[in-house]
């Protein structure tokens, strides 16, 4: 009897997926967002110093929402397929984004079938949770015919990021919404002038990172060694300021040297690990002008600056040979 009842439930679920619940005036909404990579300033940005982030247009996601006849919210994604009420904890930021976006748009409960199709790796410090939240806000706004400005979308992202990471600087939310490099400090975003072509290679360590855990670890280290850690944070912020003129002049060699210095400081903050260190060294050995972890660290990805487009492919090959599970390229240049 237990097997028979379960089978009927499975069939009902399959039927729901194949023929979704519709209502008079059934509508569809779409939203899109891309990943980001922190070039310089991660961790220090939490304490008010600046950071620079670059967009990763090759890593993006799309959210599609359909209205339902009932008030259920159903989610379909690579991580989960089912009811929002029963979603696992790792999906709670997504569910928070849905409810926050609905409150800003329809203003009342509304049934949704929501699908996430993503090319952004999860738990790699690339802003996947912020990108999902931004795309959800845009999709629900599209569905309801609501004009959500950038600040409203950012409010949705911040609600989700608070669940995902605890205390959030707000950088990810701004970076996944920007099509160009940004400098972020104290909640304020400034455009970064680019006077040349910078080709970056991103490599996945194969290990998930936890931004919340890494941020908490730095906070504990600072409580124990305040003078030392404040000095590291201050220098990370100064590196960001120095990098702005290098971006503007197109000086790749000098920017790479700052990336290497930033990595050494992040090692002292104890947010790197053996796998990230190995990939950083492999990138430098393969000709990268500079290489460092990007994001929270303790897993996740590294970012390496290639001398040019032609050498970037060789750099990707070397990083995969050194153990990277995936690699990507991104180019930042004058618009």
Residues contacting residue 6 through CB under 8 Å, at least 6 positions apart: none
Contact 155, 104 (CB under 8 A): yes
In the chain the first and final C-alpha atoms are separated, in Å, by 65
Distance CA 299, CA 124 (A): 7
Q: What percent of the chain is helix, strand and coil (3-state, nearest 5)?
A: 45, 25, 30
Name the catalytic one among 60, 113, 155, 172.
172
User: What is the distance of C-alpha 297 from the center of its chain?
Assistant: 13
Nearest of 276, 291, 191, 272 to residue 232 by alpha carbon? 272
172 catalytic per annotation: yes
Q: How far apart are alpha carbons 74 and 85 in whole angstroms?
A: 9
Give catalytic residue positions: 172
């Amino acid at each position: 009897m237990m097997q028979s009842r379960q089978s009927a439930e499975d069939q009902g679920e399959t039927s729901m997926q194949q023929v979704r619940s519709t209502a008079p005036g059934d509508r569809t909404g779409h939203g899109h967002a891309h990943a980001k990579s922190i070039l310089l300033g991660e961790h220090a940005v939490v304490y008010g110093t600046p950071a620079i982030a670059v967009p990763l247009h090759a890593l993006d996601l799309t959210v599609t929402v359909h209205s339902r006849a009932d008030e259920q919210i159903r989610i379909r994604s690579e991580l989960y397929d089912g009811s929002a009420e029963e979603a696992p904890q790792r999906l709670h930021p997504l569910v928070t984004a849905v409810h926050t976006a609905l409150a800003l748009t329809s203003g009342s409960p509304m049934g949704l079938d929501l699908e996430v199709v993503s090319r952004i790796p999860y738990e790699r410090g690339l802003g996947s949770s912020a990108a999902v939240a931004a795309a959800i806000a845009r999709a629900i706004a599209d569905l309801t015919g609501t004009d959500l400005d950038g600040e409203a979308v950012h409010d949705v992202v911040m609600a989700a990021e608070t669940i995902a990471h605890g205390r959030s600087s707000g950088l990810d939310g701004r970076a996944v919404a920007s099509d160009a490099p940004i400098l972020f400090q104290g909640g304020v975003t400034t455009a970064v002038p680019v006077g040349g072509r910078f080709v970056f290679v991103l490599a996945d360590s194969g290990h998930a990172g936890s931004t919340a855990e890494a941020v908490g670890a730095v906070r504990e280290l600072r409580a124990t060694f305040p003078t030392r850690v404040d000095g590291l944070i201050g220098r990370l912020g100064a590196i960001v300021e120095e990098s702005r003129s290098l971006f503007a002049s197109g000086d790749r060699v000098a920017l790479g040297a700052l990336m290497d210095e930033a990595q050494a400081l992040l090692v002292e903050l104890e947010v790197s690990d053996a796998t990230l260190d190995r990939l950083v060294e492999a990138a430098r050995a393969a000709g990268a002008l500079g290489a460092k972890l990007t994001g929270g660290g303790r897993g996740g990805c590294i970012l390496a600056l290639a001398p040019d487009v032609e050498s970037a492919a060789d750099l990707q090959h070397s990083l995969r040979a050194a153990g990277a599970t995936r690699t990507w390229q991104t180019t930042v240049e004058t618009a």
